[in-house]
Structure formats: structure tokens, C-alpha cells
């Protein structure tokens, strides 16, 4: 049987697989595709400059237990995505993204069906500074809890409002509806990890609700929580920042 782009043959049944999402439009990056932007002073083992996507990919590719790695990219973007990846021994499986982040992850999950992993990690390609310590922490936890999200403490006191205020005061100001306890709220990061068959079924149900009701899901833990059950939390990392704006690339 031929070896797949994941580095394993379909039917080999790897214990772990990973998905990296890089199919978004980067609308807040001023016309730049953030996953393809270079990381300051970061290079692979052959001296090639690392991109944002390359930084995330290289860390996951270095985890030996991850037998299959899938990257969701904009449709038709194979050449640009390939150029953004570091020198490596084997290629990831590139799959076209969908009309939303949820749809892109769903496409990647479907691509993993031929390999049927036990667990899958799902990571934002715009988080290039993820490290192996956090990845392994998530991997250990998902084998116990089936669904895991890394959290970091909030540094600001959160407030619940009926709408977010704008810089220019126009009309009535939004009202604070709730004073939330910072000690009981965390900011979600990736990689999030799940039992593979169950998260695929959850995405199938989420796709139907998205189509029928227009529901927008912000992350995979939310989808699991709605259609499968409880999600466990592990400690995240303040180093595992997400790039959203051009200035985020120069803050490290």
C-alpha cells in the first residue's frame, strides 16, 4: 500500500493525528495572509526562514506519536502553502478549507477518515509559538477525558455586555449585564484535542445546525460541548499567542 502524504498508509490507524487550520482570509492583517508571513529570526534546520505556518507545523512534526498531520488551506493554494512550509522529511496532507473555520476543520476531519486515528489535535495555524510541552500535556489529558482545551488566566476583569462599545460614542452606551469572576474564566487556546470518531460526529451535527439556523461556532470545544458532553481544561501557555494583526509579529 502506498505511503500517504501524512507519512503513514491509509489503514495504519495512528494513535494521534493533528489538524492545523490555515484556510482563513486574514481579514485583519491588511491584505497579508498571516500564516505565510515570515517569523522574525526563525529558521528551520536547513536555514530556511520559517513562516507563521511553518513554525506551528515544525513543532507538531517533531512529535513522534502524531502519525498524520493535515493542514486546511484556501482552495487552490497548494503552491503557496507548500512554499510556506519548512524543509522536512515528509509532507503533510493539504486539504481545501470551507466557508468557515468550522467547515475547514470538518473537511480536515473527513480527510482523516481513511486513517481512523484514536485522537485528533486541532490547532490554529496562526499560533506559531506553540511548544512540545503544551502539545504533550494536551495529548496526555485527551486519553483520559476525550475532550481537552488549554486555558490561560485572564489578566483583565471581564464584563458581560449586550453589545461591545465603539470608540466613538454614538447613541446610548451599551449596558453591563454581568460582573464575571476572573478566577473562574479562562481564555481558550489551541491545540484542542478530542476522541476522533466523536468529534467528527459532533461536526456533522454542527454542520446541520449551521445550515438550518445559521449558528456560528467559535471553536471545536464549543462544538463538543453542545453535541457530545463535557470538556476538560488543562493549563495553556502565555507564549502560545495567536497572530491577529500585523503588529503581533513584532511583539516577541
Can you give the pLDDT of all 252 residues of the chain as single tens digits? 233 456 666 667 789 999 999 998 765 666 678 899 988 877 777 777 899 999 999 999 999 999 999 999 999 999 999 999 987 656 899 999 999 999 999 999 999 999 999 999 999 999 999 999 999 999 999 999 999 999 999 999 999 998 888 877 778 888 999 999 988 899 999 999 999 999 999 999 999 999 999 999 999 999 999 999 999 999 999 999 999 888 887 644
- Confidence (pLDDT) at 63: 94
CATH fold of 16-156+170-196+230-250 reads: Spore Coat Polysaccharide Biosynthesis Protein SpsA; Chain A (3.90.550)
- Confidence (pLDDT) at 136: 98
- Confidence (pLDDT) at 1: 28
Indicate the pTM of the whole model. 0.91
DSSP string, the chain: ----TTSS-TTS--SEEEEEE--S--TTSTT--GGGSEEEEEE-TTSPEEEHHHHHHHHHHT-TTEEEEEEEE-TT-HHHHHHTSPP-SSPPEEEE--SSHHHHHHHHHHHGGGT--SEEEEEETT-TT--HHHHHHHHHHHHHHSEEEEEEE-SS--EEESSPPPSS--SSPP-EEEE--GGG-EEE-S-EEEEHHHHHHHHHHHHHHHHHH------HHHHHHHHT---EEEE--TT-----SGGGGG--
What are the residue ranges spanned by the domains of the chain?
16-156+170-196+230-250
- Confidence (pLDDT) at 3: 37
Amino acid at each position: 500500500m502506498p505511503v500517504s502524504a501524512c507519512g503513514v498508509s491509509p489503514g495504519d490507524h495512528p494513535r494521534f493525528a493533528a489538524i492545523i487550520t490555515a484556510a482563513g482570509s486574514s481579514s485583519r492583517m491588511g491584505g497579508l495572509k498571516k500564516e505565510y508571513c515570515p517569523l522574525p529570526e526563525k529558521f528551520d534546520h536547513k536555514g530556511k526562514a520559517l513562516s507563521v505556518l511553518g513554525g506551528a507545523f515544525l513543532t507538531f512534526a517533531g512529535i513522534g506519536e502524531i502519525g498524520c498531520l493535515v493542514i486546511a488551506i484556501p482552495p487552490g493554494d497548494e503552491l503557496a502553502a507548500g512554499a510556506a512550509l519548512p524543509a522536512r522529511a515528509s509532507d503533510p496532507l493539504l486539504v481545501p478549507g470551507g466557508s468557515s473555520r468550522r467547515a475547514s476543520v470538518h473537511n480536515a476531519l473527513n480527510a482523516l477518515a481513511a486513517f481512523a486515528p484514536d485522537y485528533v489535535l486541532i490547532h490554529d495555524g496562526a499560533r506559531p509559538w506553540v511548544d512540545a510541552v503544551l502539545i504533550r500535556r494536551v495529548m496526555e489529558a485527551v486519553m483520559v477525558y476525550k475532550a481537552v482545551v488549554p486555558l490561560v488566566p485572564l489578566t483583565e476583569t471581564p464584563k458581560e455586555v449586550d453589545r461591545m462599545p465603539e470608540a466613538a460614542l454614538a447613541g446610548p452606551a451599551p449596558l453591563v449585564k454581568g460582573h464575571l469572576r476572573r478566577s473562574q474564566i479562562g481564555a481558550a487556546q489551541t491545540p484542542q484535542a478530542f476522541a476522533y470518531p466523536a468529534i467528527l460526529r459532533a461536526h456533522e451535527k454542527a454542520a446541520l445546525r449551521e445550515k438550518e439556523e445559521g449558528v456560528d461556532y467559535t471553536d471545536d470545544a464549543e462544538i463538543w460541548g453542545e453535541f457530545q458532553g463535557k470538556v476538560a481544561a488543562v493549563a495553556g501557555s502565555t507564549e502560545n499567542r495567536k497572530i491577529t494583526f500585523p503588529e503581533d509579529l513584532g511583539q516577541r
